Structure formats: structure tokens, C-alpha cells
Amino acid sequence: MRMSGNPSSSRDWMSEVISVMEKILSVGLKRFMSFMQGYPVMVKKASLAMNFSILLLINGNLTYHFYMGLMDNYMNFSYIIPGVLAGMALPGHNQKPRQDLDWIRKKGVHGIISLTEDSLKFSLIKEFGFEYLHVPVVDFTPPSLDQVRECCRFISLLEKAGKATVVHCLAGMGRTGTILACYLVYKGKPGHQAIYQVRKMRQGSIQGESQEKCVLSYEKSLLNND
């Protein structure tokens, strides 16, 4: 399935779909996630399936090939600020984590921010010499402002040292896109422009109203010197 017509209209349509999905899920999501805490593997599979469905709506056949490992854009990796900040999906999802971390290192990355509820293996992080920050955020929800500030400080410190950071969640879309946009705001870009830029560069990013509000709330906090 592929959206046709004006690309801007398609993006607006997609944003409305995600917003409606979020509102439908919001009432029962916390109860569902609480029940599913005893089934972590099932939670990850359900979350990935939901992300896959959104990507499929946006990008049709290309999304299928991406998840089958046939696209060049491996692990949904791309730089949002060249040499400074990138986003990606969960390392180790399609093959052994060591191979993915080696691949990331060869892309010039020195720092990793994990937004998944489980951290990466610290032994592997140490083996490859990455700077590492684990900021657990529930899928399809926004990080708190304190978590955003923590991530931006981490990225900024590495940027000043001439080192690049990659941010990941499960599919590299919702939570990841939110932090990427927040860092653009940190660098001085207006919130709405930051959201637009991340979505343009990484389709499917920033899933729903709550994650959009997170970016705009962070912008407001910077303007108020909070």
C-alpha cells in the first residue's frame, strides 16, 4: 500500500492517524503495559509490529524490504546533523549486537543513547569504547523534560569533543525522533521546524500529539530558562 497525491497531504493524514491511534490507546495502554510486564519478549514484538504498521502505511513496499534487510539504509540509521547526531533502530535486532556495534563504530559514532526500557549490554559497550547513556522511555510515549535535558547535555558534550552520538529506541522512530528534534531545538531551531525537519529526513518520526508536545514544551522551557 502506498500513499498517493500531495506528499504534504499524506504527512498530514499520517499525523492524524497516529494521533487518533494514540488517543484510542491512551486509556488502556498503561493497564495493558502493566499486565504485560511479565512478558517482555511479547511486549517488544507487539511494539515492533505497531511501528512496522506505521512505516508500512507511510512508505509501502520500501518498508517491507527494509525489514527484510534488503535496503541500504541499514538499521534505519541516518545522520540528522552530519558528524554530530544520528538516529537508528535497536542494535542487535537483526543480527548479533557485536556486529551492529562494530558497524556503528565504523559510521563514526562514539556515543550511544538508548531509549528502550532495557539497556544494551554494558560489556559490549565497554568493549567498543562507546560513551553510553540509558534513558528508559515507554514506547509510544514522550520522554520527560528532565530526560530530554539529560540527553541534550550528553549529545552536546560529545559534540564539543568532536564526537558523534546515535540515538535509538526499538524502530528508531517515535522516541528517537523526539530526542533528535529536541536537540535541534537545543541548537536554536524553532520547535515546529525541528519536528518538520526530523520527519522529512526520517519518515515516521515523532509519533503522535504527546511526542510533538514534548518537543514544544522543551522549546518553551529553554525560552523560559527553566
- Looking at residue 65, its pLDDT comes to 40
- Looking at residue 53, its pLDDT comes to 55
Q: Active-site residues: which are they?
A: 169
60 and 34 co-located in one domain: yes
- Looking at residue 58, its pLDDT comes to 46
Q: Considering only CA atoms, which of 17, 55, 46 is closest in space to residue 202?
A: 55
| Residue where a domain stops, chosen among 47, 70, 93 | 70
Residues 6+ apart with CB under 8 A from 121: 97
- Looking at residue 17, its pLDDT comes to 53
pTM for the structure as a whole: 0.72
Residue-number span of the structural domain to which 59 is assigned: 12-70
- Looking at residue 64, its pLDDT comes to 42
174 and 198 co-located in one domain: yes
Mean pLDDT by runs of 10 across the 226 residues of the chain is: 44 53 51 53 55 51 41 78 96 86 95 97 96 96 98 99 97 97 98 97 93 98 91
Is position 168 within any domain?
Answer: yes
82 and 62 co-located in one domain: no
Biggest CA–CA distance in the chain, Å, is 49
211 and 101 co-located in one domain: yes
Cα(124)–Cα(119) distance, rounded to whole angstroms? Answer: 11
- Looking at residue 77, its pLDDT comes to 94
